[in-house]
Amino acid sequence: DSGVTQTPKHLITATGQRVTLRCSPRSGDLSVYWYQQSLDQGLQFLIQYYNGEERAKGNILERFSAQQFPDLHSELNLSSLELGDSALYFCASSVGEGGFYGYTFGSGTRLTVV
Amino acid sequence: AQTVTQSQPEMSVQEAETVTLSCTYDTSESDYYLFWYKQPPSRQMILVIRQEAYKQQNATENRFSVNFQKAAKSFSLKISDSQLGDAAMYFCAYRSKSNQFYFGTGTSLTVIP
């Protein structure tokens, strides 16, 4: 157990629907990062939050949004889902803002859009 | 934009032997961090080793070491005395000054008993 908790582990939903993925960072970590891992795109950085504030943005679609709450857990909202959104979504956390010592990853949420 | 290239989609090594995984990157920055992550079948991403670009000395973590060639923008991972538990997908990653991470497409390592 890495200390980063992601729920749910698996999610199957239909196109056009909206889902929320949840992440609890490792105790003491203030930064949360979201990544999408698909077969054809590899591991893509989506967004980072540090202590409740957005810090960096990657290749995140407008249909996707995220936030980090005062208790430091984070949610990634995916709306108007398309077949191509099927992927493994990872959350990672780090102590500081910079991720200088690397991340601690959760075990991911497998999203299947049918 | 930074890119990270892993030119070996698959590699195999005999148990107890040594294997080297390649990684090259493209950047105009002078200060950055490089990482190797391991993703076993459990799909958990595990940090293997990190290297600060300003340090000339190659990082080492037990059986894992890197060969960091800054001028050549190369960051290879050497695994010595390979074990069955080393079988996994290995990802090279680059952390930019703007705190964005870029990952390579991965190398699938098979360890042959």
Determine whether the interchain pair B104/A42 forms a contact, defined as Cβ–Cβ distance below 8 Å.
yes
* Percent with pLDDT over 70 in chain A: 98
Minimal C-alpha gap between B53 and chain A (Å): 11
pLDDT at B11: 97
Distance between first and last Cα of chain A: 30
* Residue B101 in contact with partner chain A when CB distance is under 8 A: yes
Minimal C-alpha gap between A71 and chain B (Å): 23
Determine whether the interchain pair B50/A98 forms a contact, defined as Cβ–Cβ distance below 8 Å.
no
Point out the residue among B47, B100, B102 whose CB comes nearest to the CB of A103: B47
pLDDT at B99: 75
CA distance A48 to A27: 17
The CA distances from residue A99 to A3, A49, B29, B91, in Å, are 16, 12, 17, 16
pLDDT at B104: 93
- Residues of chain A found within 8 Å of residue B106, distances taken between Cβ atoms: 42-43
Minimal C-alpha gap between A80 and chain B (Å): 26
* pLDDT tens, residue by residue, B26-69: 999 888 999 999 999 888 889 999 999 988 899 999 999 999 99
Quote the mean pLDDT of chain B. Answer: 93
In chain B, what is the greatest distance between 2 CA atoms, to the nearest angstrom? 43
Q: Containing H/E element for B74?
A: strand B74-79
* pLDDT tens, residue by residue, A8-61: 999 999 999 999 999 999 999 999 999 999 876 678 889 999 999 999 888 899
- Whether B97 shows a pLDDT value over 90: the answer reads no
The helix, strand and coil proportions of chain B, stated in percent and rounded to the nearest 5, come to 5, 50, 45
Quote the mean pLDDT of chain A. Answer: 92
